[in-house]
A and B are shown apart, each in its own frame.
Chain A
């Protein structure tokens, strides 16, 4: 199972000359959490901390060992990536509560499950507060999530759908 965590620390290698440009410090998802929308490469500068991003379009191969990217010049600041202010950092998603639409606690997000093209398949749960299939699988498919929540608000899922839908291996 590919997860966002499994990609962390992977090198970003430029196809222009084979050199390592940086490494994956974290991943951004788009607002609707359908796919990885950018790579977070970290911050630089002592006083004015500048964030370095690599937009999804610059990723040539989401590889299992390294990611191949179009070139070092594709690493930019957030202001140069459209809608970057709406992106969700996976690191900040970790720990978000999952509840039913009625408010019953289901569990807590631990990681994001991705397909080989870095599209979101679902979420890996850390804690699970319910019994049954979810407790066994500890995964929830993206389609089962009806509200994505925010830093202060939990995600909402339809429990029956969450139990019925499995995340593809």
Chain B
């Protein structure tokens, strides 16, 4: 069939020809006037808008959502009232994208922005939690000054839709409550990305049972210099749940979070792209079941230069639990003062979970804290999983033992079942229930000479090796290596490895490298 243009299309063609002729004439004129460069530089560039929140009220945007004017009243007056919800709505629909939202210090500093518009059906951006669907930066004035509070809506605070690339800095997200989907403070959908820097996520609650009291992420999440504290989850992950996404946590603190009926008091990571934790502290979290500090249920988890301390599991794995095929690597890290009602005060591997320890301290942890006789392995415990350790220090852990007469008492107990040594580990107490075979370089010595868990420099608390510790210079002469076989250049604190004054060129067992002490001669006149 022969093509026959429609009358309209012919008209468009004629119109286009005329426009082309006009443009050519104009271009010629510009060239002649020498003003082409000026014309090009004056062409409007797509500048991402900045919205300044100047009201702590909760009200949706007014006017066109694409006009880049943040106001809650239309027609616009000479002064705009810009709420956070209005700013996010405008950012979601900004033609340029990439909006930045800042907060006017004079009207918002120290005054919580309390969300008050309860979720309606459908729960869109105008009600309930704050839905972010576009690339957006939220720049607060500091977590103590810019506070976003969900207490008035019975909903979480932020919901990031697929495709949203969001960064938040210098603010607090608090008092969110998730009745469905999980993520009491924030929910990051699969395909979304969130970066938190110097953000506090505190006192949020997951009441759905799907977990993530503070935050649930199925996307890409990066957390730096931030705090997740006092969040609660009915499901798993009191502070944070990684639901198949990728999570990187650096220089942050996960503290006093709780699961009411789940695993991972501080953090839980399910199978997916995994979770990495570096230079961070996971402390005083409580799990209803497994993994007081951290539970890995499948996937890869890497913990480096971090401390898990004073966490509690009401079943097993006080500091950490690896389950369901999870592969956990701990490097230059400390597990101390964790407790389990059942097995594995420090950590447990079960249900095909596996844990690798590289220069790790597992010290002063306790299993069977209720003295029921139902828990072993104060430091390490294996159910149906595996634990491998090299250059690691397993010391001064306790579980229980039944003594003559039937009483059950706390008893030194570093391990249960059969951890696999890769050599050069130090254990203080290996009970009969621990069948770990000692190989080259392994030491069994009841006096580890460890200092208390405290600030010894570096980003986290550590336990120093005290003078006379058998761990000094006792690591593998071939070096202290990471999971890939590369030498560890520093200890947990960031101090250089192989630095001790005993004269040997070996690094120390455990997470702490005793630095060289110089004894200057005392000049006596």
Contact = CB atoms under 8 A, between A and B. Distances in A.
A37 B145 CA distance: 20
A15 B252 contact: no
A69 B200 CA distance: 11
A68 B142 contact: no
A15 B284 contact: no
Contacts of A19: 253
A16 B142 contact: yes
A17 B142 CA distance: 9
A1 interface: no
A74 interface: yes
Contact of A18 (B144, B145, B170, B253): B253
Interface in A1-60: 13-20, 58, 60
Given A64-B256, A65-B310, A74-B144, A17 B229 contact: no
B400 interface: no
B397 interface: no
Given A60-B144, A63-B230, A16 B202 contact: no
Contacts of A63: 229-230, 256
A16 B200 contact: yes
B72 interface: no
A61 interface: yes
A84 interface: no
B172 interface: yes
Contacts of A74: 144
Contact of B284 (A17, A18, A20, A65): A65
Main secondary structure of the interface of B (DSSP, over half): loop
Given A70-B144, A71-B142, A74-B144, A17 B230 contact: no
A65 B227 contact: no
B256 A17 contact: no
Contact of A15 (B144, B256, B283): B144
A65 to B, nearest CB: 4
Interface in B192-242: 198, 200, 202-203, 225-227, 229-230
Find the residue from A14, A16, A18, A69 having the highest chain B CB count within 10 A.
Answer: A18
A19 B229 CA distance: 12
B178 interface: no
A73 to B, nearest CB: 9
A66 interface: yes
B255 A66 contact: yes
Interface in B231-289: 251-253, 255-256, 281, 283-284
Interface of B: 142-145, 170, 172, 198, 200, 202-203, 225-227, 229-230, 251-253, 255-256, 281, 283-284, 310, 455
23 contacts: A13-B227, A13-B229, A13-B253, A14-B227, A15-B143, A15-B202, A16-B200, A17-B143, A17-B225, A18-B226, A18-B227, A18-B229, A60-B172, A61-B202, A64-B256, A66-B229, A66-B256, A68-B200, A68-B227, A70-B143, A70-B144, A71-B144, A74-B144
Interface of A: 13-20, 58, 60-61, 63-66, 68-71, 74
Given A16-B144, A18-B227, A68-B200, 19 more contacts: A14-B144, A14-B227, A15-B229, A16-B142, A16-B143, A16-B170, A17-B251, A18-B225, A18-B226, A18-B229, A18-B281, A60-B144, A60-B172, A61-B229, A63-B256, A66-B229, A66-B256, A68-B229, A68-B230
